[in-house]
Structures are given as C-alpha cells and as structure tokens.
Chains A and B, each alone.
Chain A
Amino acid sequence: MQTLQRRSDAWLGITLLLSAMVHMAAFLGITWLQGLSPDPGQLQTTYYVDVVNLPVASPQAGSPTPAPDNTDQPQIASAPQAGPMMTPAPTAASDGKGPKSDSQTFQERMAKLEGKAAEQRQSAALESLRQKVSGGRPGMPGASGSQTGSDYTAYLHSRLKDAFRDTIQYQSKTPFVVVRLTIDRDGRVMRTRFEQSNNDKVFEKSVQRAIELAEQRIVPPPGRTTYEGTFVFKPQGVLQR
C-alpha cells in the first residue's frame, strides 16, 4: 500500500509544475494584453516640462503674451526639453520642503503641477477673452490677425469646460481625448472628430455628452463663418490646442 501511495503522489510534482506553467502563461498573457493599450504617460511628460520652465505670468507684470517681434519666450520654454528632464526637484521645489528622490513624490508633484498649469491656462484664456470683449486697454495684449477666431475659441472652450464639468466620467488612470470640432454658421456642431484617444470609452462618451450639452448654449461664430478648432479633454479639464 505504501508503494502505491508513493507512486500516486509522484503525480503531484508534475501537476504542480504544470500549474505553475499555466499560471505563468496566464500572467504573461495578461501583461501582453495590457501592453497593447497605448501609453497614456506621454502627454504628461510634455506637460510637466512646460509647466516647470515657463515663466508664470504675473498680472502686475503686464501682458502674458510677448510682443510680436519677441521670439525668445518659446525658446526658453522649449529649451529644457532637450536637457536633463529627470531633475525637476531643484526647479519645482518652490514649497520649501526640498527635493525628494521618491518616485511617488515625483508623481504627486507632477499631478499638482498639471492641475496648476490647466488652471493658469484657463484663467489666462478667460482673462484674454474678457479684455478683448471689453475693447482692450493700453499695455494689454494686442489682437492678432486671427483675433475673431481666437475669441470664439476661448468662448467655445469656456462652454465646453462648463459642460464637461457636469459630464466627466472615466475608468482609465489618465484618460485623454483630442477632439476636432467643426461649427457651422448657425452655431451647430457640424462634425466631431476624435483625433486621439487612449481608448477609454467611458471618457469618450462623457466628452461626447459634454459637446452635445455645450452645443445647446453656443452662439454662431462671428461673421457667420464655419469654425474649426481642436480641444484636448483630460480629467483636469479642457485645453485649447
């Protein structure tokens, strides 16, 4: 009887090996499937560099927009992208706590900076819109050749932002959608094209609902022309492109 029992138990080693192999295969399969989804971290990186290196516009300093012949500002903003991008701590440590090497702290700081950047951009766009609507003042940013379009873009952005606040939903970690909108002369959305997305269907639906909601409130473009604009929808809000 002991001989038979030992012979039977020998099977257990084989099944254990088989089970481990099946589990490993399942794990690799899941990893491979997750690897098929696009990397959502690319926009974050670009965003982070812009935020850290761009000089923050102060309301007391005058216009956040440089004069037309002044081309130094974008160079300052884009120069650190080629440099050591992984050393943000000395620049970003404005809260006085000092640099931390911990990757979690780095991620948290990136999220904070992203939120701050979105707010700054939105407030700058709104401020610009208000100034232009009120006729402008001496010393403030002047109008460019595309002033009408820019005003309408800011207006549209504001409507989309308000609508998106009511509809936002997502299930992936960092969803984003780049949408190209075409507005006809009557102020109706003629065409909505999703140019880029991280394939978060819930997020895409919420963006679609926000556009439909905003469509009910928007006015026709100035001069009764067809308007086209691109907007980036993220959990932090809506950005103009």
Chain B
Amino acid sequence: MENMLSLAGIGPVVLGVFIILIFFSVVSWAIIIFKLIQIHKANSESVRFMDFFWKTKRFDTIAAQADRFSSSPLVMLFNEGYSELKQLMDAEGKQDQAGVSTDLGGVANVSRAMRRATNQEVNRLEKYTTFLATTGSASPFIGLFGTVWGIMVAFEGIGRTGSASLAVVAPGISEALRATAIGLIAAIPAVMAYNHFQHKIRVLVKEMDSFSTEFLNIVQRNIAGK
C-alpha cells in the first residue's frame, strides 16, 4: 500500500501520463477480448451456416433457420439478399400480369443489397479496432513524453541541490522511465491484436464476397430457368 501511495510523489504531469496510459491499456484489453469473442463466433457460425446453406435446397427454409447463426456475417448477407429477392418476386408477379419482364434489373438489385450488407458487416467487424491502432501508435509517445518530463524534473532537482551523485539522480530517472515502460506495455498487445484482427477481418470479407457471388449465381440461374 505504501508503494501505491508513493505514486503520488511523482509529480502531476507524470502521474497524468500514467493515468492516460493505464486507461489506454484497460480499454484496449477490453476491446481485444471483445473482438476475439466476436470474430471467433463470426468464423465458427459462418462455417456452420455454409454447411447448412449447401445442404438445404430452399431459401425459405434457410431464412427460417437463419437465426441460429446470428453472429455470422454471411447470415446478414443472406437475409438482405433474400428479402430483396422476395420483393423482386412479388414485383415480378405483378409485372407479369402487366406483361413486362425485369430479370436483369432484379439481379442487380439483389447484388446492390448484398453489397450494402457486406459494407455494414465490415463496419461492424472493424468497429473499435481503430482504438487499438491509436493505442499502438500513440502510447509509446505518451510514455516517452512522461519520461522526458520526469528526467527534466530530476535534473532540476540536481540543479537545486547541487548534488549529482547516483543516489540523487537514479530514483528520479527510474520513476520517469516507468512511463515509457507502461507505454510499451499498453502498445505492444494493441499492435499485435490489431494486426491479427485485420487479418481475420480480411478473411471474412473474402468469404462474404464469395458467398455473395454464389448467392447471385443461384438467383440468376433460377431466374434464367423460368
């Protein structure tokens, strides 16, 4: 407890730097854990959904069961595409009665809807990762600022006392260097996690693109077969 209270003796600027860095570390670790869970669930449920999608022949059956894979971004794409397709089919039924065909335009509508859904899913997956990037790039500099400030104060103390012995200089510099250490402790996991999540998100985006293409192919084949 005495060591904890000794933090109060390090000066307001360095103490402020410590608080900022600890805040960065706490929030970035929260985001890391959150994103690990989110991306793991998205991956595993996407795999299960794709199995289910290829085994089930009917879109309406898939749509009825889609809630089971709610964390998968592919489900969102499917829901958007399917709802657009349903609207298209309803409109086509009315236009057939009027004698007008809109086959190609309908597929383009579904494609746009799925592209929009892809963008929304990418935004959802990338949410908060910018904080990790900020922590990774800014924390070492904030820590360095605290160190520079602490060393400045230590040298001022040397000037006041007129004593430059190691016993006088070393404790102040040691306290100041802690700021850099905490900055690095906050930054290193944030950078590693950011790179990992970016890779995972890129893989998921490719899966979404592949799924969109497959879905549109199926839709186009069905429309062409009519």
Q: Known: A173-B171, A235-B165. Contact between A19 and B33, CB under 8 A?
A: yes
Using known A-B contacts A12-B30, A23-B26, determine if residue A115 contacts B70 with beta carbons closer than 8 Å.
Answer: no
Find chain B residues with CB under 8 A from A5 CB. 124
Chain B proximity mask over A93-109: 1 for CB below 8 Å, otherwise 0 = 00000000001100010
In the complex, chain B residues 116-174 whose Cβ is within 8 Å of any chain A Cβ: 117, 120, 124, 128, 157, 160-161, 163, 165-168, 170-171, 174
Task: Using A11-B38, A12-B31, A173-B167 as known contacts, say yes or no to A108 and B161 having CB atoms under 8 A apart.
Answer: yes
**B22 contacts partner chain A, Cβ-Cβ < 8 Å:** yes
Residues of A contacting B160 with CB < 8 Å? 108
User: Closest B-chain residue to A28, C-beta based?
Assistant: B4
Contact of B30 among A19, A34, A35, A112 (CB under 8 A): A19
- Distance of B188 from chain A, by nearest CB (Å): 15
**CB 8 Å contact bits of A154-172 with B (1 = contact, 0 = none):** 0000000000000000100
Give A198 to B170 CA distance when docked, in angstroms: 17
Interchain CB contact under 8 A, B34 and A11 = yes
Q: Does A1 belong to the interface (CB within 8 Å)?
A: yes
Residue A4 lies at the interface, judged by CB distance under 8 Å to chain B: yes
Q: Check: A15 CB closer than 8 A to any chain B CB.
A: yes
Question: Which residues in B have their C-beta under 8 angstroms from that of A143?
Answer: none
Q: Is B27 an interface residue (CB 8 A)?
A: yes
- Among residues of A, the one whose C-beta sits closest to the C-beta of B158 is A108
Digitize A174-198: 1 where CB-to-B-CB distance is under 8 Å, 0 elsewhere.
Answer: 1000000000000000000000000
Task: For B53, list chain A residues within 8 Å (CB).
Answer: none
Residues A111 and B163 in contact in the complex (CB < 8 Å), given A5-B124, A8-B38: yes
> Which residues of chain A are near B70, meaning CB under 8 Å?
4
Smallest CB gap from B29: residue in A? A19
Question: How many Å lie between the Cα of A7 and that of B165 in the bound state?
Answer: 59
Rounded to whole Å, the gap between the CB of B135 and the closest CB of chain A is 12
Number of interface residues of B (CB under 8 A): 34
Chain B interface secondary structure, helix, strand, loop or mixed?
Answer: helix
Q: Can you name the residue of chain A whose Cβ is closest to the Cβ of B25?
A: A23
* Chain A, interface SS category: helix
Q: Considering the complex, give the chain B residue whose CB is closest to the CB of A37.
A: B3
Number of interface residues of A (CB under 8 A): 28
Closest Cβ of chain A: how far from B137's Cβ, in Å?
Answer: 20
Q: Are the C-beta atoms of A31 and B3 separated by less than 8 Å?
A: yes
| Cβ-defined contact, B26 with A19, below 8 A | yes
B14 at the interface (CB under 8 A from A): no
One digit per residue, 1 when the CB lies within 8 angstroms of any chain A CB and 0 when it does not, for chain B 188-202 equals 000000000000000
CA–CA, A236 to B165, complex, Å? 9
Interface residues of A in 87-130 (CB under 8 A from B): 103-104, 108, 111-112, 115
> Is A76's CB within 8 Å of the partner chain B?
no
Q: Is B37 an interface residue (CB 8 A)?
A: yes
Which of B2, B27, B30, B163 has the most chain A CB atoms inside 10 A of its CB? B30
Q: Which residues of B contact A236 (CB under 8 A)?
A: 165, 167
Within 8 A of A (CB), among B21-57: 22, 25-27, 29-31, 33-34, 37-38
Q: Mark A22-61, 1 if CB is under 8 A from B, else 0.
A: 1100010001001100000000000000000000000000
Q: State whether B124 touches A12 (Cβ < 8 A).
A: no
**Chain B residues in 8 Å Cβ range of A140:** none
